[in-house]
């Protein structure tokens, strides 16, 4: 049920992100979701793409450092408080959140939130028990 | 096996006797044949007959790179130019290059000393030596070449660069000995890795490396990446080239060929000789050089020398690895820092690549040090906190080593210049800009 997210090390320098994205464009791979964590010197670009392995290989060939990180994708209703419900379940069970980012899915108009938890296994279990709508990798890659 | 047992295992007394005889000869020749020495010694009122013991060498003035430049190009030759059969020069990055001229006899000596060293490393007539040291004015290529042929090995004179070709030959020729500068060696290792070639797929038995400063951690990496022992080769263009001293199987210092090169260690501040075992600047005197005798040449290299019976059976004096150079030494906020110290600190942390650059600036009145370090998959985490942690750990390791605060910047792989030839640029000093 985990989704493979790509994490890419970027120097905080002009044009570096474009450089990475150019490579992905040439592969004709679509980006589903994107987020960036940055400090003044470097950033971590996080991507959900339709073909993570292909993108990882090509980026590495171009000297980028890329890691595949397992994350969870949860569909939530796109209305006030939709995300809170999920977070409440996690909090109640003492599951720490490392980071999250979200995007809106066009077909159903639901929002999808990408979660990186400190304890992914336990998190997945708790969310399943709480009847959260966990999106499979196949679904997310084929949106 | 020992190439020249009578010399390499000679007793200390016999060695001193031989050295004194040769020192007296070389000082006499220099005084009579080289105008530079004639003038210097006359000015200092010291003459060849004043050298009655080896200790008397202290009466003679030093020769420096500046002196060599002032005599550019042929002013230090002791023989007519027609007797010089080969000329090499230093790179000349800091001014006019220094010229080194060799007679036929000098080339024989050069082959001989490298042959001794290659024998120490276990290289013999069955070996194929792939020599990635540059051929040309740089002495590295030819020195190894002559010595390699002398021991009867097959030499592949490929020079530095053309890395894919190097790898092709490594495989096809079943090269057993690889000679490189540490930074170029690591570059080859990177390429091998990216091509999925494992050291087990090759036929390497031994590596000889030199002409650049390195740390124990760097040697470990080389040995690990190539799965073969790596031995240090020391030399300098002015004195001869590589082969002035080479490392034996003990991997604990280099045997200096003191029957050809007389070593002293001096305190670079007081210019006085230091007793054996003390660290200081290496000063060398060529005892047998015909074309261009050099007397008390200040190498700028910092090391120590000591006599001991080595585990390998040789009695030749041993020299520690080069700790730095008196002219590489950086004065930062009044503290002496060698780039090798920073390298050592970086490599003490697992997963850190040995590619770094030190950038010195002076934004107002205070020096600032930035150390750029290439990130690697081993130290990249999908987590800002952990990445900042690694950066701080690197800064702390450097602080522990040199006592100064530095800013460490993690940069993307292969963004720090690694030249396909020659030596890596480790320090960029912008303080006077």
In A, which residues are within 8 Å of B411 by CB distance?
Answer: 11
- CB–CB contact A65 B410 (8 Å): no
Tell which residue, B126, B119, B130, has the closest CA to residue B175: B130
Confidence of residue B427 (pLDDT cuts 50, 70, 90): confident
- CB–CB contact B410 A11 (8 Å): yes
**Residue B95 — left, alpha, or beta (φ > 0 → left; ψ -120 to 50 → alpha)?**
left
Q: Given a cut of 60, is residue B420 above it in pLDDT?
A: no
Across B299-313, average pLDDT: 93
Q: Which of B382, B384, B412 sits opposite A64 (nearest CB)?
A: B412
Across B368-389, average pLDDT: 90
Across B49-75, average pLDDT: 94
Lowest mean pLDDT across B58-72, B119-133, B271-285, B345-359: B345-359
Across B127-154, average pLDDT: 95
What stretches in chain A show pLDDT beneath 70? 143
Tell which residue, B286, B276, B280, has the closest CA to residue B317: B276
Q: Given a cut of 60, is residue B422 above it in pLDDT?
A: no
The Cα B291–Cα B103 span in angstroms is 5
Using the Cβ of B388 and the Cβ atoms of chain A, whether some distance falls under 8 Å is answered with: yes
Q: Given a cut of 50, is residue B352 above it in pLDDT?
A: yes
- CB–CB contact B376 A44 (8 Å): no
- CB–CB contact A41 B375 (8 Å): no
Across B30-53, average pLDDT: 97
Specify the pLDDT at position A143. 64
Specify the pLDDT at position B351. 83
- CB–CB contact B411 A16 (8 Å): no
Specify the pLDDT at position B343. 87
Specify the pLDDT at position B421. 46
Q: Which residues pair with B266 in a beta bridge?
A: B273, B281
The percentage of residues in chain B with a pLDDT greater than 70, rounded to a whole number, is: 97
Chains A & B: contacts with CB separation below 8 Å: 49
Q: Are B293 and B310 in contact (CB under 8 A)?
A: no
Instruction: Express each pLDDT in B93-102 by its tens digit.
Output: 556 788 999 9
Q: Indicate the DSSP class of residue B432.
A: T
Q: Given a cut of 80, is residue B336 above it in pLDDT?
A: no
Q: Given a cut of 70, is residue B92 above it in pLDDT?
A: no
Q: For residue B156, how far is the Cα from the chain centroid?
A: 22
Q: Given a cut of 90, is residue B14 above it in pLDDT?
A: yes
Specify the pLDDT at position B93. 56
Helix (H, G, I), strand (E, B) or coil at B394: helix
Specify the pLDDT at position B158. 96
Specify the pLDDT at position B418. 67
- CB–CB contact B380 A16 (8 Å): no
CA distances (Å), origin A90, targets A85, A116, A130: 9, 12, 10
B169 or B354, higher pLDDT: B169
Q: Which of B377, B380, B409 sits opposite A41 (nearest CB)?
A: B409
Q: Are A82 and A104 in contact (CB under 8 A)?
A: no
Q: Given a cut of 90, is residue B10 above it in pLDDT?
A: yes
CB burial of residue B6 (10 Å; 0-12, 13-18, 19+): exposed
């Amino acid at each position: 049920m985990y989704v493979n997210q790509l994490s890419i090390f970027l120097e905080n320098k002009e044009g570096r992100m474009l450089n990475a994205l150019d490579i992905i464009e040439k592969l004709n791979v679509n980006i589903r979701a994107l987020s960036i964590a940055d400090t003044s010197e470097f950033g971590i670009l996080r991507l959900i793409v339709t073909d993570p392995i292909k993108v990882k290989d090509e980026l590495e060939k171009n000297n980028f450092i890329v890691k595949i990180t397992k994350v969870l994708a949860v569909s939530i209703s796109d209305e006030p408080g939709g995300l809170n419900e999920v977070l409440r379940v996690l909090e109640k069970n003492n599951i720490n959140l490392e980071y999250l980012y979200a995007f809106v899915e066009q077909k159903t108009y639901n929002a999808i939130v990408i979660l990186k938890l400190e304890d992914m296994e336990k998190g997945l279990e708790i969310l399943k028990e709480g009847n959260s709508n966990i999106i499979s990798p196949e679904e997310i890659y084929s949106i | 096996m020992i190439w020249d047992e009578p010399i390499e295992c000679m007793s200390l007394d016999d060695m001193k006797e031989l050295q004194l005889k040769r020192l007296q000869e070389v000082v006499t020749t220099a005084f009579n044949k080289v105008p530079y020495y004639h003038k210097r010694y006359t000015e200092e009122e010291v003459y060849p007959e004043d050298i009655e013991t080896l200790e008397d060498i202290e009466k003679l003035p030093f020769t420096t790179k500046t002196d060599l430049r002032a005599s550019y190009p042929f002013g230090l030759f002791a023989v007519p130019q027609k007797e010089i059969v080969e000329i090499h020069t230093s790179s000349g990055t800091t001014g006019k290059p220094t010229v080194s001229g060799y007679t036929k006899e000098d080339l024989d000596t050069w082959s001989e000393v490298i042959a001794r060293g290659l024998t120490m490393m276990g290289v013999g007539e069955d070996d194929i030596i792939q020599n990635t040291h540059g051929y040309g004015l740089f002495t590295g290529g030819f020195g190894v070449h002559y010595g390699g042929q002398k021991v009867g090995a097959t030499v592949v004179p490929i020079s530095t660069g053309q890395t894919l070709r190097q790898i092709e030959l490594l495989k096809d020729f079943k090269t057993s000995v690889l000679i490189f500068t540490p930074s170029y060696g690591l570059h080859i290792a990177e390429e091998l890795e990216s091509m999925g070639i494992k050291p087990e797929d090759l036929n390497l038995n031994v590596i000889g490396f030199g002409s650049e400063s390195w740390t124990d951690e760097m040697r470990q990496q080389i040995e690990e990446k190539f799965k073969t022992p790596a031995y240090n080769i020391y030399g300098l263009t002015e004195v001869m080239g590589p082969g002035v001293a080479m490392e034996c199987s003990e991997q604990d210092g280099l045997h200096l060929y003191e029957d050809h090169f007389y070593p002293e260690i001096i305190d670079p501040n007081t210019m006085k000789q230091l007793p054996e075992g003390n660290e200081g600047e290496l000063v060398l005197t060529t005892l047998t050089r015909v074309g261009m005798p050099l007397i008390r040449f200040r190498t700028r290299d910092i090391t120590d020398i000591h006599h001991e019976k080595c585990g390998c059976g040789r009695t030749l004096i041993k020299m520690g690895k080069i700790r730095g150079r008196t002219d590489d030494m950086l004065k930062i906020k009044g503290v002496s820092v060698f780039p090798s110290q920073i390298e050592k600190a970086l490599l003490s942390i697992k997963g850190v690549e040995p590619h770094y650059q030190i950038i010195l600036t002076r934004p107002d009145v205070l020096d600032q040090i930035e150390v750029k370090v290439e990130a690697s998959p081993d130290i990249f985490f999908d987590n800002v906190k952990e990445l900042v942690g690694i950066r701080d750990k690197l800064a702390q390791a450097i602080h522990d080593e040199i006592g100064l605060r530095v800013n460490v910047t993690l940069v993307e792989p292969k963004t720090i210049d690694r030249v396909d030839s020659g030596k890596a640029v480790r320090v960029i000093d912008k303080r006077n800009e």
